[in-house]
Amino acid sequence: MSLPGLTVVPDTFQNTGTTRTMNVYFLQGVFGELPNCNGIMEELILPPEGGTFMKIVGCPFLYKGNPENRKVYGMEQGKSNISTLPREIIGKSVIYVAAVALRFLFQKKKFIHDLHIFANELINKTIKHVGQPEIRYNQFVKEVRRAMDAALKKEFKIPADAHLIGYGVDEVKWKPVEIAVVITKLVAFLCVMMEYDAAYRFPTQDVFGELKKENVKKNARKEAVRLLGVYVERGIKLDKRIVFIKKVFSALFWFSPRARRITQYFLEEVDVEKVKLDEADWYFTLRRNTYNFGGKTLDERLIELDRIDREKGTQYVKIEFSPELVNPPPNV
């Protein structure tokens, strides 16, 4: 299976007589968290219509994205800032929590501007260095950003051609539209994070697959909370970050009519078919043991994996490292 694109691993196999050598792009854990889940990239595919795909040696499905180490690790500080700061520093201090609450209640415009400075740093200090051209992002990321952009513009009555992420910190300071710019930048960061890190993207896509539009029409808040509950329920190792996010959004939905409306507009706008797991995505979830994708246990998914591999004729590449290699990659 392949798409027209650009081969960036030339001369994949070279016959040298007694041995065969290969220019390899080692993909650690590309098939999951279990042992022997590594792969070798055969081809990087960049279709002219957009997206980025990897053809993995012996695998019948294309993997979406190109999670280079420099990009994945380049996101780490930003990820820590949006996770550790609120949970481990602010959240564990009554004084800090009170200070943030007072700032929000009595100086809301300044509070939002503080968030804008924070979000702007994520864009300028992270995304600008590890991001990629818009056309190279895959369908999931593009659709989430498009749907949120449409929801924000509907709520704040912003012209359709406005480029929200392009506004600087001082351009919209203390203006009503500033919160829309903040949300846009935070969503952009989260989307790039999920583009490069399947540990976040696949569970999120799995949850989107459970979205019921009829529930959104009845009560978007309840549907959003239900989806967050699905994420928590299917997580094998209970992720404190997700539990924290669920608590924050549950409280926000109760106290902010605007948050409820933006959530409703977003869930109404997003195309489920473009954000849920497709056949190829599903294949790459079958050997992941930290989340019950589709509500199925790991054992159930491994049975399905065996069936698919038999049908597709999957050929796994056994990767061995020389004993002289001091620090071979883990999980091989």
Q: Provide long-range contacts, Cβ within 8 A and 24+ apart, for 242-245.
A: 244/86, 244/87, 244/91
Paired strand residues for 15: 20
Domain ranges of the chain: 70-271
Nearest to 270 by CA among 222, 219, 216, 233: 216
Which pLDDT does position 15 carry in this prediction? 45
**What DSSP string runs through 24-35?**
--EETTTTBSST
Side-chain-side CA neighbours of 272 within 13 Å: the count stands at: 12
- The answer, yes or no, to whether residue 216 has pLDDT greater than 60, is yes
Condensed to tens digits (0 to 9), the pLDDT of residues 108-123 reads 999 999 999 999 999 9
> Which secondary structure element, helix H or strand E, spans residue 305, and what is its range?
helix 298-312
User: What was the pLDDT predicted at 166?
Assistant: 93
In this structure, what token pair is assigned to residue 8?
């960036």
pLDDT tens across 273-323, in order?
Answer: 999 999 999 999 999 999 999 999 999 999 999 999 999 988 887 776 666
